[in-house]
Structures are given as C-alpha cells and as structure tokens.
Chain A
Amino acid sequence: MKKFFLLLAFATIFMAQANAQKYGTRKGTITFDSDTNMEKIHAVNNTVSAVIDAKSKKLQFAVLIKGFQFKKALMQEHFNENYMESSKFPKATFKGEIVDGDVNFVQIGSYDAKVKGKLTIHGVTKDVTVPVKIEMSKAGAHSTATFKVVLADYGIKIPSLVKNKIAKEVTIKVDATLPMLLKRNK
C-alpha cells in the first residue's frame, strides 16, 4: 500500500513536470553581421520572442525587423527601407521542431541538437535546418544558434553600386534564455 502511494506521488510529480514543460521569453537576442573587406555591418535586436514546447519539441521564434539597432542611422534606414522593406514585412519568424539530438529538458546540462523548420524573412519562406545548442539550467533553456542566410534566397536585392559592401551571405546569431513558463492553476 505504501508503495502504491509512493508511486502515485512520483506519478503526480512527473505529470506536473510534463504539463509545465513550456519555455518562453520575449527578451531574446538576435544579431546580424555582414562582413566584407569594404565594410563590416552589425546590428542587434534584443526583443526576440521565443517559445519551446519540451513535450512536442516544437519551437517558434519571432523578431521585429524595425527593432534591429545599427550604429549608423543611415545603415538602419537602408536596411529597413531598401533591403528588408520592413513596413511591408515587419517580422521574421521561424517555426519548427527539434529533430536531432536528445535534449533532456528536465536534466541540467548542455545539449547539441538540430532544429528543422520554416524560416520566413522578407515575406519569403524557406525550409532550413540549423544546429542549436540548448543548455538547461535553473534559469531555463539557454538556446544559441549561429547560421548563415543567403540574401538572394529571400528575394533581398542588393544594388550593384554597393555590391562589394554588403555580404551575399549574412551571419545570424540567436541567443535566448527561455525560463519555464508556469501554467496558471485554474
């Protein structure tokens, strides 16, 4: 009988965990780097929304293009108006799932994995697979990823005049700590 109650207690704890396994933030960071011999361009966005569902291994990231901050106002203006057309396409999003690697969300540790899904930039959606690192700690799921994006793939045209100043392939870095989202008790 005692064993039964112990089992029940364990089962309850386990279920509570399984229920609460959603992680999310609205304060993630994405940086953008374009490196050529002529010019280095760097921008940061610190208001990235992200949600990971540990149970289904599905995840979503979203960022507002206008939120990218450049050192030079002129670069920011060109980025928004000429290249990203951010008034027409205000967001970039990623929706996908963890496909490779055994990420144990209830065990503190560092996990290498891959996420596969749909990346939408400049109104164009592409299938991508990106390696990610997920570090589980008391603070939540710290997720980092670095990948390259070919501008032409997303219909972003660079005028020939500045061709040498803007990389054809830009580097995107994602860095976000997602605390566990607590489910509200009804």
Chain B
Amino acid sequence: MKKVLIVLLGLAILGGIGGYFLWNKPHQDVASAKADVIFTADHLLNAFETDENAANAKYLDKIIKVNGVIKDIENNDSGEISVILATDNEMSSVICNFAPDFGDTQKLKSGDEIVIKGLCSGYLMDVVLDRCALAQK
C-alpha cells in the first residue's frame, strides 16, 4: 500500500514538473530555427495575391526566409520594429514584425538589402511575418 502511494506521489510530482514546463514553454525561437521556405519579397506577395487560400494552406505558421529591399521602417507604440519590404506592387508589400528583443535592427535603414526569417501570419493588404529575426544569406 505504501509503495503504491509513493509511486502515485512520484507520478504527481513528475506531472507537476511536466505541467510547469509546458505552461512556461517558450515561444518558438525563429532566429535559430531552419526556414521551411525561401522566397523573395515579390514571390511571397505573388503567391498570396494569386491564390490566397492555397498560400494560406501552404505557408501559414511556417518559417519563411525572405529577401528584399527595405522600403520603410516603422516603430510602433510598444517599441517593436516593423520592416516593410518593397515589391513590384506599390500598394502591397511584405511586413516583417520583429520580436521585441531584437536589438540589431537598429542599424537597418531604407534601401538596404536584407534577409529576414519570420512566421507567416497571413495576408491582408500585405503579407505579414511575425516574430522576425535577421537571417544570413
């Protein structure tokens, strides 16, 4: 009887520890993750403009590595940085929202050629990548 209790207690503690780690599971580390697909900003936007549903099915939640030229950099109220990549379409682009603690975005400026990795959230007027990080070519 005592043994059963000890085993049960052990299981409960293990479960607790497991639950704790699950609860505090970190966000996906995009910076060190391998990209699922590689695109130019133009191709990425084209994919969504041509067939949004198909592109959603293929690319949502995937880590996308995209290269392009910076059209604009915007800071929002919460101190996060968004890099907007130029495309052939003047009205639409690729918006890359950087994860809050990515300090190396400071040096970026309009006109720079850049490679960015991010999680694809979908398409409104633009394709949106979240939790972005700078990547190597």
Main secondary structure of the interface of A (DSSP, over half): strand
Let me know if B56 is at the binding interface, CB within 8 A.
yes
With A29-B76, A47-B82, A87-B60 as contacts: A76 and B27 at CB distance below 8 Å:
yes
Q: Which of B21-45 contact A (CB under 8 A)?
A: 22-28
| Contact between chains at B97 and A72 (CB < 8 Å) | no
| Contact between chains at A26 and B125 (CB < 8 Å) | yes
CB distance from B55 to the nearest CB of A (A): 10
| Contact between chains at A91 and B82 (CB < 8 Å) | no
Chain B contact patch, size range: 20 to 34
CB distance from B66 to the nearest CB of A (A): 16
Q: How many A-B residue pairs have CB under 8 A?
A: 74
CB distance from B88 to the nearest CB of A (A): 16
- Cα distance, A91 to B76, chains bound together (Å): 21
Q: Which residues of the partner chain A approach B28 to less than 8 Å between Cβ atoms?
A: 73
Let me know if B104 is at the binding interface, CB within 8 A.
no
With A26-B125, A49-B124, A90-B60 as contacts: A67 and B130 at CB distance below 8 Å:
yes
Query: Nearest residue in B to A47 (C-beta to C-beta)?
Result: B128
Let me know if B101 is at the binding interface, CB within 8 A.
no
| Contact between chains at B23 and A67 (CB < 8 Å) | no
* Chain A residues within 8 Å of B, Cβ to Cβ: 26-27, 29, 44, 46-47, 49, 62-67, 69, 72-74, 76, 86-87, 90-91
Q: Given contacts A26-B126, A73-B26, list 8 more A-B pairs with CB under 8 A.
A: A46-B76, A46-B80, A46-B97, A47-B95, A66-B61, A73-B27, A86-B60, A90-B123
A-B residue pairs in contact (CB < 8 Å), sample of 22: A27-B76, A27-B82, A29-B76, A44-B78, A46-B82, A47-B82, A47-B95, A47-B97, A47-B121, A47-B128, A64-B128, A66-B119, A67-B130, A69-B130, A69-B131, A72-B23, A73-B25, A73-B26, A74-B23, A74-B25, A90-B56, A91-B124
